Amino acid sequence: MFEHSIKVPRHFKISANIVKKVATEGGSVKNLLYDSKLRFFRTNVIYALITETIKHSADVDKLFEATGILTKEPRLDPWLAKVIATELIFGKKELPGRSKPEETILSYKELFEKVPLPPVEVKSEVRRPRYVRINTNLLTTSDAIGAFQDEGYKFIRCTSGCYDDYLKQIQGLTEYDFTQDYHVKTMFVFHPNTKFHDYDLYLENKLILQDKATALPVHLLAPPQGSVILDMCAAPGMKTTQLAAYIRNQGKIYAVERNEQRYQTLCDFVNKTESKCVTTMHRDSLDIKKGECDDAEYIILDPSCSGSGMQLSIHNYVEDVRLARLTSLQEKFLKHAMNSFPKAKKIVYSTCSLFPQENERVISNVVKSSRAKWKVLNVKELLKGNWNNFGSGMYAVLERDPKQANPEDGTDKEPSKVKKEKMKHQVEEDLEAVEASYAEFNDDEVSKHRKKKKKSKEECNVQKLPNDNTIKKKKNKEADSAAKDTVEENNLHNEESKNSTKKTKKDRENDLAEAISLVPDNNIEDSIVEQKKKKKRKNKENEVEERNESIDVNTNGDGCEPVKKKKKRNIE
């Protein structure tokens, strides 16, 4: 028999409260846990209990459903019950006290044990490499390579240009190697164990610890120097500062953040990184109306999400109600981005969630209802099939359809009936593409596709240092020469950029073309230039016809056409 006077152990109560908060309101377990009131409590014990409860949540739900415990015991708090049942069934297998909730759960132990549960999945943990981004406002990539070499790291260069070779190469990096990222040329990749927290370049904000997945949206947005960008959900400022470096502080970035504390973090980060072209705004993005930020041409939309793609499995636990709330907010953001900024021509939507509700469904719902003003580009085509998504979120690239928008005044022409039909058809095709792409993201098409791909005969020029600390400290001459080309490329590129303030649009296009020849893997810019050439030709042919039809063509900015769809879509 239990005794009414016996209290529920405090660690159970605290854990139950946090699990409830994470599931219903969201937020980080660590933040909730390291609340000052708990500072001297056994946080490690509680953290383990919360993690286990979240990990076994689906199984515990099954046990509760099969036994009907929550209906039969209406006074039992379901969150507390979850924590205690997890401890009893999956944790220590015993309970410390004799409180009523503990006794109630114990009385169901035999019934719980009869419920068949799926076998525990043993997941092999894949450790992600350590990515760092060079803040090119403060340090050139060539100087960064030199600095890493001075530290004893060996620069490994993939000469084949083949993505498969690159992937093999990063998997084989030792603790003394580093290489340049395949897509984002200002990023470098190190062994997962590499620590940078005490490293001078990091402390001086020349080196930013940023994961590849969070850097890709800027690469996909690819705004040219001089452009005006709106970052609708900016704090802590990873993408804002990356954008500032990307456009070499030439242009303007509106960085909007609603949360006061996070806004301060954003301002600090912007200052520390010398992201001088950034205007921070402590605002709710959804309150920014036509007439404000009207000059924004490129939009990055990285709204709050469930974070289910983040490494901590703890984030995978999201209540349906919360997910629905997030989805509806994300749709609002996207609609706002698409409709409120007359000059906007490209939007990159990204989340670190893997839930389709926060990704493809947001895109399809919004694009469906947007009268086809925006076209969804195929991310895999933009990356030329070369992105092995490590389960860390999703991206969608939307480009305003130049045939259906009037960039001069930002209004959309009312389309004729025939055109409306065509547009509807186009939207359906686009959505099919998006849905197919996400489906492929979710299954293992990536590896199938890669197997089919013709392998390059060229091998990576991989030269490894022996695993020896003494040798590590010697600067490697061979590596120096391997890096030399990159250094020269970067110097040239940097030299170009110094003169860029006075450049015309034409000059910028030429710069872009040159940059592409300097950086051969710069896939996005590559496809943009190709598309520009095509578009110029096409524009000439269609000029008269289009004028007659009164359809305005987007002639300002980069004017790039959406990437043409192929019959068979390959999306990673």
Closer to ligand SAM by CB, 28 or 491: give it.
28
Helical ranges in 151-237 per DSSP H: 163-171, 200-203, 212-221
Among 78, 97, 172, 236, binds ligand SAM (CB under 6 A): 236
Terminal-residue alpha carbon distance, the chain? 58
239 binds ligand SAM (CB under 6 A): yes
Measure Cα distances from 542 to 85, 225, 308, 536, 559 in Å: 69, 29, 46, 10, 15
Q: Which two tokens stand for residue 404?
A: 């259906």
Element (H, E) at 349: strand 346-351
CA–centroid distance for 98 within its chain = 47
Q: Which residues contact 446 (CB under 8 A, 6 or more apart)?
A: 388, 389, 440, 572
258 binds ligand SAM (CB under 6 A): yes
Residue 475: what residue type? K
Tell me the closest approach of the beta carbon of residue 301 to ligand SAM, in angstroms.
9
Task: Single out the segment in contact with ligand SAM by CB under 6 A; choices: 37-45, 282-290, 399-407, 549-557.
Answer: 282-290
CA within 13 Å, CB half, 477: 0
* d(C-alpha 78, C-alpha 266), whole Å: 39
Closer to ligand SAM by CB, 64 or 341: give it.
341
Helix (H/G/I), strand (E/B), else coil: 569: coil
22 binds ligand SAM (CB under 6 A): no
Fill in the DSSP letter of residue 36.
Answer: G
Task: Single out the segment in contact with ligand SAM by CB under 6 A; choices: 136-144, 297-305, 529-537, 556-564.
Answer: 297-305
Closer to ligand SAM by CB, 302 or 399: give it.
302
Closer to ligand SAM by CB, 393 or 562: give it.
393
Closer to ligand SAM by CB, 56 or 252: give it.
252
- Ranges assigned E (strand) in 200-270: 207-209, 228-231, 252-257
Task: Single out the segment in contact with ligand SAM by CB under 6 A; choices: 171-179, 182-190, 300-308, 392-400.
Answer: 300-308
Active site residue ranges:
352
Q: Which residue is nearest to ligand SAM (CB)?
A: 233
* d(C-alpha 412, C-alpha 473), whole Å: 62
Among 174, 259, 264, 442, binds ligand SAM (CB under 6 A): 259
User: Is residue 302 marked as binding?
Assistant: yes
Q: Which of residues 146-185 bind ligand SAM (CB under 6 A)?
A: none
Closer to ligand SAM by CB, 235 or 571: give it.
235
293 binds ligand SAM (CB under 6 A): no
Q: Which residues contact 173 (CB under 8 A, 6 or more apart)?
A: 129, 156, 179, 189, 190, 191
User: Is residue 61 marked as binding?
Assistant: no
234 binds ligand SAM (CB under 6 A): yes
Compute how many residues bind ligand SAM; rule: CB under 6 A.
19
Q: Which two tokens stand for residue 489?
A: 């490329």
How many C-beta atoms lie closer than 10 Å to residue 361's C-beta?
Answer: 17
Closer to ligand SAM by CB, 88 or 362: give it.
362
277 binds ligand SAM (CB under 6 A): no
Q: Which of residues 183-202 bind ligand SAM (CB under 6 A)?
A: none
359 binds ligand SAM (CB under 6 A): no
Tell me the closest approach of the beta carbon of residue 151 to ligand SAM, in angstroms.
27
Among 43, 304, 406, 442, binds ligand SAM (CB under 6 A): 304
- What is the residue-wise DSSP string for 352-373? S---GGGTHHHHHHHHHTTTT-
Task: Single out the segment in contact with ligand SAM by CB under 6 A; choices: 120-128, 284-292, 399-407, 503-511.
Answer: 284-292
Sign of the torsion formed by the C-alpha atoms of 430, 377, 450 and 170: negative
Task: Single out the segment in contact with ligand SAM by CB under 6 A; choices: 119-127, 255-263, 451-459, 511-519.
Answer: 255-263
237 binds ligand SAM (CB under 6 A): yes
Tell me the closest approach of the beta carbon of residue 217 to ligand SAM, in angstroms.
8
Tell me the closest approach of the beta carbon of residue 81 to ligand SAM, in angstroms.
32
Question: Rounded to 5 degrees, what angle do the CA atoms 162, 167, 168 make?
Answer: 100
358 binds ligand SAM (CB under 6 A): no
Task: Single out the segment in contact with ligand SAM by CB under 6 A; choices: 34-42, 168-176, 278-286, 462-470.
Answer: 278-286
User: Is residue 284 marked as binding?
Assistant: yes
* d(C-alpha 303, C-alpha 153), whole Å: 37
Measure Cα distances from 28 to 11, 42, 269 in Å: 18, 18, 21
Closer to ligand SAM by CB, 145 or 326: give it.
326
Helix (H/G/I), strand (E/B), else coil: 211: coil
Tell me the closest approach of the beta carbon of residue 30 to ligand SAM, in angstroms.
16
Residue 554: what residue type? N
* Sheet of 207-209, strands arranged across: 154-156, 177-180, 187-190, 130-134, 207-209
Nearest to 369 by CA among 418, 331, 419, 412: 331
262 binds ligand SAM (CB under 6 A): yes
235 binds ligand SAM (CB under 6 A): yes
| Phi, psi dihedral angles at 329 (to 5 degrees) | -65, -40
Residue list for the binding site: 257, 284, 302
Q: What are the residues binding ligand SAM (CB under 6 A)?
A: 214, 233-239, 256-259, 262, 284-286, 302-304
Residue list for the binding site for S-adenosyl-L-methionine: 257, 284, 302
